[in-house]
Amino acid sequence: MEGSNFIDYVKLFLRSGNGGGGSVHFRREKYVPKGGPDGGDGGRGGNIILRGNKQLWTLLHLKYKKHIHADNGAYGEGGLRSGKSGEDIIIEVPLGTIAKDGETEQKEFEILEDGQEIVWLAGGRGGQGNNHFKTPVNQAPRYAQPGESGAEGWKILELKVLADVGLVGFPNAGKSTLLSVVSAAKPEIANYPFTTLVPNLGVVSYRDNRSFIMADIPGIIEGAHERKGLGVRFLRHIERNSCLLFVIPADSNDIKKEYKILEKELKLYNKELINKPRIIGISKSDLLDDELIAMLKKELPKKIPHVFFSSMTNKNIIELKDALWKTMNS
């Protein structure tokens, strides 16, 4: 199935490297029979680092990497030579990835910029060599500091897609068809509910070589906030959208009721979603004549912009793009 490579949740067991132990060593040269301590410090353990990569859009590359371990630091050596630090492991993730603790599921941080790096698990510090412990009283310490242990534990990566416009609607409302018309995205389209099983992203070309990103998520049904259907699993992907496009088909039994259900589900899932700028798009409007359109306009909320469009005939597609651009930048 097209789009089945979209992975937005992975759970990993991570372990940063242990620090290397300090060295117990004494200077021994031909004409220095009783040289002092010269044990070097141990190396730092390897860190585990998250880095944002704008070229990625899914966590698929981490799906089968359940355990990630960084290298330990090397032990210190004589001659005040420090041990080599463990090699850091850099995990590249898409922008919009949230890092969570695997036990409590508490959010720790998120990656929002390309090239942004955050140390998720720091490696243990290297131990100090016996050179650090010499005193006037104890000039030949025969002990050194061991390296610190690295951190370990289960961690969660959760992706929230970064898009400008989020498409919200019931199954078979025409969201995927719209995305395929206004962008180069090729979502699966068929005449049955839940054809879309994963989010699809498309870049929509606009006037003067401008563009914006549109996200299509699986259809929402009544009771989605109670985990009915598929939509609730992907509702988090529209939390960061600049605006929402409610897609309601013209052949709906009750357009106003359908809009109210969608609005209610968003509010019950996350109250902040209801404050986002929005537009109502009536799809499949090629089925309507001017008289029917005039009647339906009376049923729509007066304070919310609306556009009657058809993806099949390209009717009012330009006007829809204009309305979305204006809403995003207002």
Return the pLDDT at 266.
84
User: Using 50, 70 and 90 to split pLDDT, how confident is the model at 3?
Assistant: very low
211-233: pLDDT as tens digits = 888 888 776 766 544 555 555 56
Rounded Cα distance between 286 and 310, Å, is 6
Strand partners, 11: 156
Return the pLDDT at 192.
39
Whether residue 2 is predicted with pLDDT greater than 50 in this model: the reply is no
Asked whether residue 104 falls in the same domain as residue 204, the answer is no
Asked whether residue 263 falls in the same domain as residue 147, the answer is no
- Which of 54-68, 132-146, 283-297 tops mean pLDDT? 132-146
Strand partners, 244: 166, 278
- Which of 84-93, 135-144, 313-322 tops mean pLDDT? 84-93
Name which of 130, 144, 125 is nearest 72 in CA terms.
125
Rounded Cα distance between 294 and 327, Å, is 23
Name which of 102, 107, 108, 105 is nearest 13 in CA terms.
102
Least confident segment among 51-55, 118-122, 157-161, 319-323: 157-161
Asked whether residue 20 falls in the same domain as residue 87, the answer is yes
Per-chain mean pLDDT for the chain: 85
Asked whether residue 295 falls in the same domain as residue 239, the answer is yes
Return the pLDDT at 226.
53
Range of the domain at 180: 165-328
- Looking up residue 305, the CATH number of its domain turns out to be 3.40.50.300
Total number of domains constituting the chain: 2
- Looking up residue 88, the CATH number of its domain turns out to be 2.70.210.12
- Which of 16-20, 168-172, 263-267 tops mean pLDDT? 16-20
Sheet order of strands, 9-15 included: 67-69, 9-15, 152-159, 97-101, 107-111
Asked whether residue 87 falls in the same domain as residue 105, the answer is yes
For 63, the token pair is 């799906």
88-114: pLDDT as tens digits = 999 999 988 999 999 999 999 999 999
Asked whether residue 155 falls in the same domain as residue 199, the answer is no
Residue ending a domain, among 108, 136, 159, is: 159
Rounded Cα distance between 79 and 28, Å, is 9
Asked whether residue 127 falls in the same domain as residue 188, the answer is no
Asked whether residue 146 falls in the same domain as residue 191, the answer is no
Residue ending a domain, among 136, 159, 182, is: 159
User: Does 133 or 190 have the greater pLDDT score?
Assistant: 133
Least confident segment among 62-71, 184-193, 211-220: 184-193
User: Using 50, 70 and 90 to split pLDDT, how confident is the model at 75?
Assistant: very high
User: Does 107 or 170 have the greater pLDDT score?
Assistant: 107
Name which of 14, 48, 39, 42 is nearest 148 in CA terms.
42
Asked whether residue 155 falls in the same domain as residue 216, the answer is no
Whether residue 118 is predicted with pLDDT greater than 80 in this model: the reply is yes
Name which of 71, 21, 31 is nearest 48 in CA terms.
71
Asked whether residue 313 falls in the same domain as residue 201, the answer is yes
For 87, the token pair is 């090699």
Whether residue 174 is predicted with pLDDT greater than 90 in this model: the reply is no
Residue ending a domain, among 111, 142, 159, is: 159
User: Does 297 or 219 have the greater pLDDT score?
Assistant: 297
Asked whether residue 181 falls in the same domain as residue 144, the answer is no
Asked whether residue 29 falls in the same domain as residue 120, the answer is yes
Return the pLDDT at 110.
93
Return the pLDDT at 195.
46
Return the pLDDT at 230.
54
Mean pLDDT of 276-295: 87
